[in-house]
Amino acid sequence: MTEPLAVRELAAALDAADPLAAKRAEFDLDPAVAYFDGNSLGAPPKHVAGRLAAVVREQWGGRLIRSWAEGWWDAPVRVGERIAPLVGAAPGQVVVSDSTSVDLFKTLVAAVRANPGRDEILLDAATFPTDGYVAAQVARLTGHTLRRVPLDELSAAAGERTAVVLANHVDYVSGRLHDMAEGTAAAHRAGALMVWDLCHSVGAVPVRLDGCEVDFAVGCTYKFLNGGPGSPAFVYLARRWQETFDQPLAGWAGHADPFAMEAGYRGAAGVGRARSGTPDMLSLLALDAALDVWDDVDFAVVREKGLALGDFFFRCLDEILPGADVPTPRDHARGHQISVRDPGGEPVMAALHERGVLGDFRPPDVLRFGLAPLYTTYAEVLRAVTTLREVRESLH
């Protein structure tokens, strides 16, 4: 099918005026593919491969074991400092360490230990599954009760029994953006601590951890931060909780003097206390390189374009697929993805992949289209909606 002329002309005009247009050239993207899965795996910046090859050849290969004392050991904190501005954190509060699931486990246990005398963990009812799995295990291991509640009901649900609230900043299915300031304030009014999962918001929407007085947060780096498959996650540990952060995975990397080889554990000062095991240096340094793309970016411009891409996606749906079932909010209370419900489910997304439009599918019937402002174009948005209509017509 041919795109409506007015929408095609609008896409071209928006791309021509895009202040981030030059950023796309910094990514290694197949021009034949329209990539809408940066909310699951970000595209690689072109320079990362060369940087990582140099790490292997010159640091691992050339300096060998000496590299640990020449920048490797301190890299989790150093790279954390590069992420801190992207989550609204002052220096000294973000460290890159382990996976999201491991970081969430460490943080949740430390949070319930920091708020004794309360026996309940409240969990975002629509949470990403791994958050629910981890929270259930933390509750079982610490003797707490786990209760799932819709975030809209948080203010009424949190009470004197609530030790910790765990919530997703952006809902992974619908793309809805939750109010971090109000959610945190509601938890605090009840005397609870607040843990936010930033996996679908970091690198996409403005995050103000310090400004919202958040206690703890975790986030991944392989989505909108483009750190690569399996790149390590990060922990935000508000300065006021650092010296009492009592985490359960007391590994040597979080020790006050890891090379003293002491028999007993003494937690490191500051945010380094959230570290556990030996860092995965190749992935960590690939992430470090990938973060370079943010050095000259105004995040307000990123947010403005992300919302504009979403608005244009809705415009295309209205003109090309009127009546589409879209759970993503039309107002700007959303992250940078548009979700469309389709009864064809996974085969529809598979057909889109065959036609070079790469989004993803979430059961039972949600097609997700991630909008990465650093490289997604308006023309690609139009292509996605046009191709979705073609697929629907061919399958039904």
Q: Which residues contact 367 (CB under 8 A, 6 or more apart)?
A: 339, 340, 341, 342, 348, 349, 352, 359, 360, 361, 388
Is 200 labelled a binding residue?
A: yes
The answer to whether 128 is a known catalytic residue is yes
Amino acid at 365: D
Catalytic residue among 18, 37, 197, 280: 197
Catalytic residue among 23, 118, 368, 383: 368
**Contact of 224 with 42, CB cutoff 8 Å:** yes
Is 222 labelled a binding residue?
A: yes
Q: Which helix (H) or strand (E) holds 94?
A: strand 94-96
The answer to whether 118 is a known catalytic residue is no
The answer to whether 223 is a known catalytic residue is yes
* 3-state secondary structure (DSSP) of residue 116: coil
Is 128 labelled a binding residue?
A: yes
* 3-state secondary structure (DSSP) of residue 348: helix
Is 197 labelled a binding residue?
A: yes
CA 174/CA 23 separation, integer angstroms? 27
Catalytic residue among 128, 133, 299, 314: 128
CA 205/CA 332 separation, integer angstroms? 11
Is 252 labelled a binding residue?
A: yes
The answer to whether 222 is a known catalytic residue is yes
CA 268/CA 283 separation, integer angstroms? 23
Is 129 labelled a binding residue?
A: yes
Catalytic residue among 118, 176, 223, 383: 223
CA 392/CA 340 separation, integer angstroms? 12
Is 31 labelled a binding residue?
A: no
Q: Which helix (H) or strand (E) holds 180?
A: helix 180-189
Catalytic residue among 35, 36, 222, 245: 222
- HEC string of 193-243 equals EEEEECCCCCCCCCCCCCCCCCCEEEECCCCCCCCCCCCCCEEEECHHHHH
The answer to whether 355 is a known catalytic residue is no
Q: Please report, in range form, the residues annotated as the binding site for pyridoxal 5'-phosphate.
A: 100-101, 128-131, 197, 200, 222, 252, 278
Q: Which residues are catalytic?
A: 128, 197, 222-223, 368
Binding residue positions = 100-101, 128-131, 197, 200, 222, 252, 278
